[in-house]
Amino acid sequence: MSSRHLVATNAKFCIGCQLCVLASSRVLRESLSLTDGFITVSSKGREGFDISIDRAERSDFEEIVKICPRRCFELTPYER
């Protein structure tokens, strides 16, 4: 079975706006929260930001790709 999963292919362009974090909580829980989603974004100081995606196998969410102003995400084919 093939599906797609969310990958932060362009994390180097991240500005830390947290929109993807809020969108991931809306997708999972239908609420806006910086702590209840499946994406976390943390600062690495001058080296930019780390983007961590939990439950990647369930993350075929075009909404996350579209909401990022820096196009940090892609949906990548995933074979199970």
Binding site for ligand SF4 (CB under 6 A): 14-20, 41, 51, 68-70, 72
Closer of 32 and 80 to ligand SF4 (Cβ): 32
53 strand-pairing partners: 39
- Closest separation between CB of residue 79 and ligand SF4, Å? 25
Residues comprising the chain, all counted:
80
Closer of 40 and 79 to ligand SF4 (Cβ): 40
Q: How far apart are CA 41 and CA 23, in angstroms?
A: 12
Q: Is the distance from CB of 56 to CB of 5 less than 8 angstroms?
A: yes
- Closest separation between CB of residue 14 and ligand SF4, Å? 3
